[in-house]
Structure 1
């Protein structure tokens, strides 16, 4: 809106700078009847003059008057063009006619005004003279001569600037209202709740540094984004107190909403808090977890599903060896079928026995059916929504799709929000008061790998395809 207002102001100033200055000069004539000493005749003459002055005004602003003026003054214009610059106005209930001439030269404007007044008097007298008679019933006198103007009547810089500024503001307001009316994207947790009927576990602010450093660790451990993921972690712990989920899928309605970033950082945050955590990349269309952590992708989940390896063979470690990661492995030709298989169900059960929490990054819901086949094999789902980008109907369709296959939606995460409008949803009020040093220690302190029983290790080594 500010840009449009400035644009309007600039347009007004530009119009002023590009406009040619115009000057006005005004002369005035008086219409009177021929002299008489009779009062009644004088009254009749005055009424006659008043009745005629409007007609005279129309005649004055016509080529019949301006043609002789053009010739007399040697003007480089036509009689019609000059007539368009002449305005004759009869004053109400008087016998006075004001003749206004506009020109780019103040001296020339005065000359034309005076010449038009003189020529108008001659023409009116000539028109009012009856054929064969020597005198006209009216007399035309010049009561005011035109003088050169000192200031132009246009352009008016202040008026143009004010009009441009006002026009820009009104355009900005109209544009903002139109955009608000047409914009169906979701920007707040309240809108997500109203649209999809799900709670919001947290909102993650947009951070330019996330493009080069997607993981909120190291230098980013004390950033607002890292704090937001810790808040999501805390809210997740409160989401299901009686039936805490162990295997949680993280998905979105469309690509590009930040689901992989959310899954990776949520898994890291859980591991840093002391929960034994495994992150599985089950987005077999566009796997990104290995790239995010700098791990090997060539062997992973699909290797286990086809019996080429065991989970313990391909499990990798990240986050200072606090987070176990099972990358996607080779991309199969049939992702939807392989993710909905009994083998996949067995892998999830085996991993869940060895870890407190299993976070599964999955494909977007609406473009492909992969996640809808995988969701019933897990305990719960988190839906990531990109603020100001994801349309409401897409979020609603994604949530309805998860419910249709019996998936329990723990809540949503609003990603890439405006940092200036960052708001806190749900639980986790205490984070704002935690000492910075303690937060740094919690975020960056290395933790030992999870200790599993021999039975758990054996389950992971033999659960699928061993």
Structure 2
């Protein structure tokens, strides 16, 4: 997936990114609110050596202090330092627990030791830091004090021998003060992490879904998948189920898309223009019947005498769409009970509809029969265009048997529903039986401002066709 495709995928799946962003930010805010604040108090010690005023001795003392200060820092979080602090401050924790809250570092090439203490109570953090510094100073000076061999009395007992002073001394250069703000949690940092994490998670999910999603999303991708020309892209219209006849809506984007499909179809095969055109799809629910109905209406609107034949004998809906009689139609003609002109119904001055008729037990055999070819040939002599609505290709074999009897086929593909494999399989099925695939129709495509031209009224208002209901002929579409 290139950058352009990635950006288009983000724009198409922005709700996924938004949900991930909201969840991540909510998690960050919840973590911030539920986390107990931790305060940090710092104190700093200076390590010096007791030497004379001789320059050489001062230099040696400085070198000695720098060499020892790293070792001193390691002594700070030890039990020898923390245990007296726990007793002195009467802390409700073990020396080991206190040690886990104390850190010490000695910057290189310095004689400084920085002691940091973390606690949930700011005042207690400062007290502990100062107590640790005092206790640590005493421990280091005691460790560095020279010992006398074979000394019996204790150094702290009255009358005991004088003990030499320690060669080092530690002084506090910066006592700990009560911290004003906690170091944890950090709301701004957590919020930033939540935003970045949510965006990354959303982008990752978009890439994953795009990788796993094999459906066709654009007409360009459909052309690349099948190698067939895209004759039309019908925009998604939420009102289509309630108002399936696009021509009735006048100059809507959907109606204009069918007019464009009509024009493309007329100019696509100039040298060998097909007269009997089959409209089919890979699976149910892709809008093949709606495409067939509106294509027929569009041709009739352009002055072409058109006949619409419902060859979907399993789930016929053409007659119901126009409000026509459903019981008599194609099947009654195929079994010889009536002639074509006896069951043909009008849906306008230039549009006739041959309904499916009664549902037969053997639709595949009827549609592939020689009589079916004769009926289509008879219609072709009467009408300039014959539009045939059929069953979907993949679930049943009805359309495969009917396809050789037509002069061309349109493959309807629903946006973001039909997979590339299903489209290729359907196209291959038509090619195997010698059907001439005129092109594809990309149905229920996502609309954009660039496709809508704003309002078609800028090109002049066209009067919307009048729909009237005839008692015997059903719903009529008058030009």
TM tier, shorter chain? 0.7 to 0.9
2:113 corresponds in structure 1 to 97
Q: Measure how far apart 1:327 and its partner are.
A: 2.0
1:203–1:422 CA contact under 8 A, matched in 2: no
Aligned CA-pair RMSD: 2.7
| Residue 65 (structure 2) aligned to one of 49, 57, 74 | 49
| Residue 251 (structure 1) aligned to one of 280, 291, 294 | 280
Partner secondary structure for residue 149 of structure 1: coil
Gaps of 5+ in 1: 449-466
Partner secondary structure for residue 411 of structure 1: strand
Partner secondary structure for residue 463 of structure 2: helix
Q: Measure how far apart 1:402 and its partner are.
A: 1.4
Partner secondary structure for residue 416 of structure 1: strand
Q: Do the aligned partners of residues 325 and 64 (structure 1) sit closer, same or farther apart at CA in structure 2, a change above 3 Å counting?
A: farther
Q: Does 1:128 align with 2:144?
A: yes
Q: Does 1:173 align with 2:209?
A: no
2:39 corresponds in structure 1 to 23
Q: Does 1:345 align with 2:373?
A: yes
> Residues 14-413 of structure 1 correspond to what in structure 2 (within 5 A)?
14-129=30-145, 131-132=147-148, 134-135=163-164, 136-218=166-248, 220-318=249-347, 320=348, 322-413=350-441
Q: Measure how far apart 1:58 and its partner are.
A: 1.8
2:43–2:133 CA contact under 8 A, matched in 1: yes
In 2, the alpha carbon distance for the partners of 1:167 and 1:434 equals: 46
When structure 1 is superposed on structure 2, of 170-179 and 83-92 the one drifting more is 170-179
Q: Do the aligned partners of residues 330 and 63 (structure 1) sit closer, same or farther apart at CA in structure 2, a change above 3 Å counting?
A: farther
Q: Measure how far apart 1:86 and its partner are.
A: 1.2
In 2, the alpha carbon distance for the partners of 1:364 and 1:60 equals: 80
1:272–1:444 CA contact under 8 A, matched in 2: no
Q: Do the aligned partners of residues 63 and 334 (structure 1) sit closer, same or farther apart at CA in structure 2, a change above 3 Å counting?
A: farther
Q: Map Cα deviations across residues 224-283 of structure 1 (whole Å, 9 max, x no partner).
A: 111111111121111222322111100112222111111111111112222221111112
Q: Measure how far apart 1:340 and its partner are.
A: 0.9
1:186–1:389 CA contact under 8 A, matched in 2: yes
Partner secondary structure for residue 448 of structure 2: helix
Partner secondary structure for residue 227 of structure 1: helix
When structure 1 is superposed on structure 2, of 379-388 and 398-407 the one drifting more is 398-407
Q: Do the aligned partners of residues 440 and 66 (structure 1) sit closer, same or farther apart at CA in structure 2, a change above 3 Å counting?
A: farther
Q: Do the aligned partners of residues 445 and 282 (structure 1) sit closer, same or farther apart at CA in structure 2, a change above 3 Å counting?
A: closer
Q: Do the aligned partners of residues 132 and 293 (structure 1) sit closer, same or farther apart at CA in structure 2, a change above 3 Å counting?
A: farther
Q: Measure how far apart 1:379 and its partner are.
A: 0.7
Q: Measure how far apart 1:311 and its partner are.
A: 2.2
Q: Do the aligned partners of residues 86 and 358 (structure 1) sit closer, same or farther apart at CA in structure 2, a change above 3 Å counting?
A: same
Partner secondary structure for residue 419 of structure 1: coil
Q: Do the aligned partners of residues 296 and 126 (structure 1) sit closer, same or farther apart at CA in structure 2, a change above 3 Å counting?
A: farther
In 2, the alpha carbon distance for the partners of 1:282 and 1:434 equals: 39
Q: Do the aligned partners of residues 334 and 54 (structure 1) sit closer, same or farther apart at CA in structure 2, a change above 3 Å counting?
A: farther
2:278–2:406 CA contact under 8 A, matched in 1: yes
Q: Do the aligned partners of residues 39 and 324 (structure 1) sit closer, same or farther apart at CA in structure 2, a change above 3 Å counting?
A: same
Q: Measure how far apart 1:90 and its partner are.
A: 0.7
Q: Measure how far apart 1:423 and its partner are.
A: 4.5
Partner secondary structure for residue 212 of structure 1: coil
1:221–1:444 CA contact under 8 A, matched in 2: no
Q: Measure how far apart 1:29 and its partner are.
A: 1.8
What TM-score results when the alignment is normalised by the length of structure 1? 0.86
Partner secondary structure for residue 141 of structure 1: strand
1:461 corresponds in structure 2 to none
Gaps of 5+ in 2: 1-13, 150-162, 471-479
Partner secondary structure for residue 271 of structure 2: coil
Q: Map Cα deviations across residues 38-59 of structure 1 (whole Å, 9 max, x no partner).
A: 5444433333322222222122
In 1, the alpha carbon distance for the partners of 2:424 and 2:244 equals: 28
2:51–2:61 CA contact under 8 A, matched in 1: no
Q: Measure how far apart 1:162 and its partner are.
A: 2.3
2:8 corresponds in structure 1 to none
